[in-house]
Structure 1
Amino acid sequence: MAIEILQIVGLGLIATFLAAVLNQQKSSITSLFIVFVGSVMFLILIDQVSAVLQMIERIAKQANVNSIYVETLLKIIGIAYIAEFGAQVTKDAGQGAIASKIELAGKLLILVMAIPILTVVIETILGFLPK
C-alpha cells in the first residue's frame, strides 16, 4: 500500500510539472495529458480495489447477508467513485458546468440503486412495530 501511494504522489508531482510546461506550449494537449495521468493513477489502484471487493464479499458470506444487497451497495460505492473521478477530471479541464451534471447524475443513480435497500429497511422496521 505504501508503494502505491508513493507511485501516485510521484506521478502526480511529475505530471503537475509537465502539465505546467505543456500549458505554456500547447494548452489543448494539457487537458488530454491530465485525463491520461488520472486514468493511470486509477489503474495503479485496481489491485487494491479488487482486494477490498473480495474481502467484503467474503465477510458478507460469513454473515449470511443476501448477496443482492452487497452487490447493490458495491455498485452504489462504484457509482460514487466513478462520478467523483469524472467530475474532477472535467473540472480540471475547465468544464465546471459539465462536472456538476456528472455529480448530479451520480447522485440520482445512487438514489435509484438504493430504493430496494431502503424498502427492505422500512419493511423490517414496520415488522418490529406492534399492529
Structure 2
Amino acid sequence: MEIIQIVGLGLLVTILTLIIKEQKPMFAFLLAAFTGIAIFLFLIGKISAVIGVLEDLAVKSNVNMVFLKTILKIIGVAYIAEFGAQIVRDAGQESIASKIELSGKVLIMVMAIPIITVIIETVVKLLPA
C-alpha cells in the first residue's frame, strides 16, 4: 500500500508547509519541492518495472523498438513537463508554468513526427489506388 505512504507524506508536508509558510515562505516552498522530488524518486522503481514489461511485450509482438522508445520518451517528456510546471506553479509563477507546459507539448509533437509519418504512410498504402 505505497499510496497510503505517499498520501501520508503529502498530508504531513502540507501541514508543515502551512505552518512554516507564515514565517519562512521560501523554506515552505523548498519543503514542498523536495517532497515532490522524493515522491518521484520513490516511484522510479515502479516506472522502470512498467517500462520493462512494455519492452517485453514489444519484443514478443515484433513491434519496432524505435516506436516503443519514442512513445516512452514522449510519456517521459509529458510527466517531466507537468512535474516542472506544478513546482513552478507552487512558487506562484503561473506564466512560467504555462510556458513549460507549452514547451512540453511542442517537444512531444516534434518527437511524434516519425510515428505520425509511419501511420500516414500505412494508411495511404491501404487505400485503393
TM tier relative to shorter chain: over 0.9
- Counterpart check, 1:8 vs 2:17: no
Partner SS state of residue 107, structure 2 = helix
Task: Figure out how many residues of one structure are paired with residues of the other and give that number.
Answer: 129
Aligned-pair CA distance for 1:84:
0.6
Correspondence for 2:33:
35
Take 1:32 and 1:98, find their aligned partners in 2: how far apart are those partners? 18
Could you say which residue in structure 2 is the equivalent of 1:46? Answer: 44
Note the alpha carbon deviations across 1:22-49, whole angstroms, 9 max, x for none.
1011112111111101000111111110
Q: Structure 1 residue 7: deviation in Å?
A: 1.4
Moved over 6 A (4+): none
| Structural mapping, 1:79-98, within 5 Å | 79-98=77-96
Distance 1:48 1:57 in 2: 14
Which residue of 63, 66, 84 corresponds with 2:64?
A: 66
How many angstroms does 1:116 deviate by? Answer: 0.2
Corresponding residue number in structure 1 for 2:125: 127
Greater relative contact order structure (CA < 8 Å, 6+ sep): 1
Which residue in the other structure is 1:22 paired with? 20
- Distance in structure 1 (CA, Å) of the matches to 2:91 and 2:13: 14
What letter matches 1:37 in structure 2?
Answer: T
Q: State the partner residue of 2:112.
A: 114
Per-residue deviation at 1:96? 0.5
TM-score with structure 1 setting the length: 0.96
TM superposition shift of 1:129:
1.0
Q: In structure 1, the residue corresponding to 2:56 is in which secondary structure?
A: helix
Deviation at 1:123, TM superposition (A): 0.2
**Which amino acid counterpart does residue 118 of structure 2 have in structure 1?**
V
Percent identity of the aligned residues? 55
- The gaps in structure 1 that reach 5 residues or longer are none
Q: What secondary structure does 2:22 align onto?
A: helix
Q: Following TM superposition, by how much is the alpha carbon of 1:130 offset from its aligned partner in structure 2, in angstroms?
A: 1.5
Amino acid at match of 1:99: A
